[in-house]
Each structure stands twice: as structure tokens, then as C-alpha cells.
Amino acid sequence: MIFLELVPKQMPDLISDCQWALSNFTAIDGINIPDILRVPNRSYTAVIELEKNNINSLPHIRICDFSTDDLLALCERLTKKNIKHLLLISGDPPPNPLQPIFKHNMIKIIQRISQSFPSLAIYAGYDPYRQSFKEEMDYAYKKIDAGAKGLFTQPIFNTHMAQLLIEHCLPCAWFIGISPVLTEKSHQYWTSRNNVVFPPHFNLSLDYNIKLAKDIIAICSTNNQHNYIMPITTNIKTYLPPILND
């Protein structure tokens, strides 16, 4: 299973890009919608519009933006709109200092939502860069035990890490993230903002990033695991065909 992550800036453009991707690549099973406060559409409103167009999609839900009761109400609304799965993330603090922030225990939230909505597949995040491998893996086990069906990783930039994560044999679905890094600015963003350590041989060329994406997808496919592809600002009509067309 492969999800394509697209930012919901303008709904007509989003729907058009989704329809193009899904009609051209049978490997893409659905659309993964991030929740970005600076763009006009929230993930949970965008996926409802996509569902109206028969587009399978998965919203990111920033749990820090909602009380527990409001989270449950949102999940009820989404299930009634035929949304079948969602990704729970803690969420960075909002740029507006006056916006309320709700402090939740992610494990308890996963447990509460998965028990309240058993038909809704709950996914959680996995960040290999924020703490030690053991600590992050222990945290992942707790999320799975609480009811998460799978883990969406931060983008992975080498095949060794992808193989290591999959071989750890968590009883869940892995969605290994793939994202092109084509500029020094992008490279700096990932290293300074997300603590990524790139392999010494990492290359900013499009060809290198396409080969890396294909290699990671092959590893996941061989192990019956999954991916999501996050092009960010890269043109999907340039980036996707050489990755997904054999």
C-alpha cells in the first residue's frame, strides 16, 4: 500500500492532483493529507471533500488543537462521512499564541479513540530522529498496544534505516516515509528542524532521490510493508512516474 501525501492548499488543485495520481499509478492506494495551520484547508475538512469525489484519503489530526470531547466528536463526524482511517500526531505549537493548546497523553488518546470507534483504523507517528532507537521503539510498542494499527515514519533517507525498522517486527503496518531533498535549503531544514543525519553519500540530484525512493519501496514491498510519498514542493508529474512506473 502506498499513500501520496499532498498539502490541501486549494481544493480544486488538490482534487485534480489526486485524480491524476490515482488514475496514472495503480500502486497509489490513497491520499495522505497533512494538517498545516498556514494553509486554507484543515486536513479533516479536506478529506471530506475528497470522499465526495470517491478519493480514499487519510487525515492527520493534531491532537493538541482539541479537547478529548472535541476529538471524539471529530472522529464521529469523520466516520459518518465514510473516513476509514486517520493519523494522530501531537502537533507543533500553533503560531498564534492565543490559540488554546490541549496537553494529551498520546497513548491514552489512541486507546480512547480506538475503543470508541473500532471501525476506524488509527495510525500513529514514528520519529527515529527525536530520541534513542530503543526509546522510540518502546514508545511505538505502547502505541500499538493502545490500539494503533500502524506507524507512519518521518521520511527516511537511507535504505539501511528502512530495513532496520521493518526487521524489528512490530506487530503492525509500517508506512515508511519517502521525501525528495533536492536543495541545500531543504537539506538544512531536515538537519536543523528534524535532527536528520543524512548518510555521507547523500546526493541532492533528482536521479539520486528517485533511485532512493525506488529502493525503499522495493524493501517495503519485499517485506509486505508500506510507504507514503511526500513530494513537498517537487512537481509530482516529474517525480512520480520514474518511481512508480516499472
Q: What pLDDT, on a 0 to 100 scale, did the predictor assign at position 6? A: 98
> How is residue 12 written as a grid cell?
480544486
What pTM value is reported for the model? 0.94
Q: How far apart are CA 191 and CA 197, in angstroms?
A: 6
Q: What pLDDT, on a 0 to 100 scale, did the predictor assign at position 110? A: 97
| 190-197 long-range contacts, CB within 8 A, separation 24+ | 190/155, 190/157, 194/127, 194/129, 194/154, 195/129, 195/130, 196/129, 196/154, 196/157, 197/129
Q: Residue ranges per domain, the chain?
A: 2-244
50-69 average pLDDT score? 96
The pLDDT confidence band at residue 242, using thresholds 50, 70 and 90, is very high
State whether CATH 3.90.320.10 applies to domain 2-244: no
Q: Is the pLDDT of residue 9 over 80?
A: yes
35-49 average pLDDT score? 95
